[in-house]
A and B are shown apart, each in its own frame.
Chain A
Amino acid sequence: MMTDEIISGVLLDEKALTVNELAQACGVTLEWVSIRVEMGVLAVPAENPAEWRFASRDLWRARQLCALERNFDALPELAALVVDLQEEIARLRAQVG
């Protein structure tokens, strides 16, 4: 299947996801997202869920958390620690080049 049409995407960091869109993108419930926001694992600048916005890093973190919790039956706190460490490894590797 191939078309000549050129598709333009939107950068998530310019138009971030709502809480509903993040839940849909990760295949999780709104409650799952809310709990991780309360835990501070996913950072949002606002208190009202309707104003929560999630950019590229949040989507990446949320998907990693889902996979760790599912594959290893990991506690959310433990999965969060692993994701923090994954980010730190990625940052250090980028510095090394």
Chain B
Amino acid sequence: MNDGTGADQDMNMNAAAAAAIIAEADARARPVLRPDHRVTFLVWGAIWFLGDGLMWLAVRGQHPYHGPNPGGYAALVLLTVLVALASIAQSRAESGVRGLSVVRRWAFSLSALAGLGGAFLVEGALVHAGASRPVVGVFEAVAPLLVIGLLYLARFSAELDWAVAGLGLWLVLVAAVGAYAGPQNVWAVATLAVGPAFVLVAALEHRRQRA
């Protein structure tokens, strides 16, 4: 730990030393104070790919369709726990930071939770109203895409981030088109269309940061 002997010590440091301090301090602070969105999009891409892929494997070839088995749901719960743990690790890494970006992240997470919770309740209502298992199956595949897609579009309206707008629009489109593929193939459509879209946005973010 630097225990300087006076506030104005080393006033005569040279330009090269100052440049080195700037580079070192920036490299140390930036990863802690500014979470890398490229990593976030890549992680989410992997999560969507795995989640949708597992559900697809769980339901494909079912005749008649009866929905994912308990193993499929257990895998989804495991993924959700991993996401929660990753979020906690990220917020701990940034401990000490407070302000607008933290509020925004919490608002986004809580909105997603509210939206997904609402979709879950609607699914219960559909079952209660006598909807067939295939109809419920289509709904449970596309509802998360619609919720998260609309959240990204809402984020676009606040931040005018065009990559996020494209992602939100894409998720809504995949939900709408995928719904026509039926309760089994909708998972295949989501597996192939959603995860890679997140990876593409990570690549765009990478290009933007390097520009």
- Asked if chains A and B come from one complex, the reply is no
